[in-house]
Amino acid sequence: MKAIIIDDERLARAELRKLLQDFPEIEVVDEAANVDEGISKIENHNPDVIFLDIQMPDMNGFSVLELAGKELLSRIPAIIFVTAFDQYALKAFEFHALDYLLKPFDRERFSDALDRARTQINDRQNSGGSDPRILGLLEKITSEREYLEWVTIKKDERILLLKVADIHWIEAQGNYVLLKFEKESHLLRETMDKMESELDPRSFIRVHRSTIININQLKELHVWARGEYRVITHSGKAFTLSRGYRSRLDAFLNKHPAQI
């Protein structure tokens, strides 16, 4: 079995690797420290099992599944959530997760989780189909998630109500984010990570640690050397796609393949 570990804590990843040394039938082919790295590693390796930390700084582990999408998830037989918080463990079971490991866990509990993973992988191989629990997890996440529709900006003695769908792009500005509309811009005291987590990924895509773009504003993608992109909006604004966020754009392009 090929395994990938996705956890922002280096020591936690090392501990999982150490435990897996006692199970020679499982090979750790890669590891990741954040959501974007995780999606990229999954795409590259097509693992049989993923050890997925739920609580990470940029986004939670459920965001990995949401951003990965149904097509990619359908190729993954087993997901084992890892968490230090009971409420997340309960949520994992509500979301049909194969199993969860509540930190700190011992070798016996770890072995039990791997036994379930083996069974799930064998069932997947025998049936030749996707695990309905994993796909059900994604459907539950996307159907229950409520995304930001309006933002309020205090301007002197006024409070502006601005529709999120009208935002062209968002840029980091120190402790604020700059919301760029067609004819005006507004500062909002918020972090980029928090802003991204509240936006509908079907409408907004993060192309850089300091830039989020409304997908409806995308006009062209210019391919540079080494597979890098230059993103051009309808207004002519150009942004460089950071390598760390390539998986987000790839997921969007896979859903909207170019016509020749």
Can the peptide bond before residue 132 be classed as cis, meaning omega within 30 degrees of 0? no
pLDDT at position 193 over 70? yes
136 shares a domain with 18: yes
- Conformation bin of residue 11: beta by default, left when phi > 0, alpha when psi is -120 to 50: alpha
Based on the fold, state whether residues 6 and 134 are members of the same structural domain. yes
Q: What is the pLDDT of residues 162-191, one digit of tens each?
A: 999 999 999 999 889 999 999 899 999 888
pLDDT on residue 185: 93
Q: What is the mean pLDDT of residues 27-48?
A: 87
140 and 13 assigned to the same domain: yes
Last residue of a domain, one of 120, 144, 168: 144
* Stated pTM of the model: 0.56
- Indicate the number of domains in the chain: 2
Q: How confident is the model at residue 141 (pLDDT cuts 50, 70, 90)?
A: low
3-class secondary-structure state, position 87: helix
Same domain as 155, residue 139: no
Residues 159 and 137 in one domain: no
Per-residue model confidence (pLDDT) at position 124? 67
Q: In this structure, are 241 and 184 located in the same domain?
A: yes
What pLDDT sits at residue 29?
95
- In a domain? residue 260: no
Q: Could you give the count of Cα atoms lying within 13 Å of 234 in the half-sphere of its Cβ?
A: 10
Res 133: pLDDT: 61
Q: Which of 129, 144, 159 represents a domain boundary (last residue)?
A: 144
Residues 196 and 249 in one domain: yes
Share of the chain above pLDDT 90, in %: 20
One domain, residues 163 and 118 = no
Residue range of the domain that includes 187? 151-255
pLDDT of residue 260: 45
What's the pLDDT at 214?
A: 94
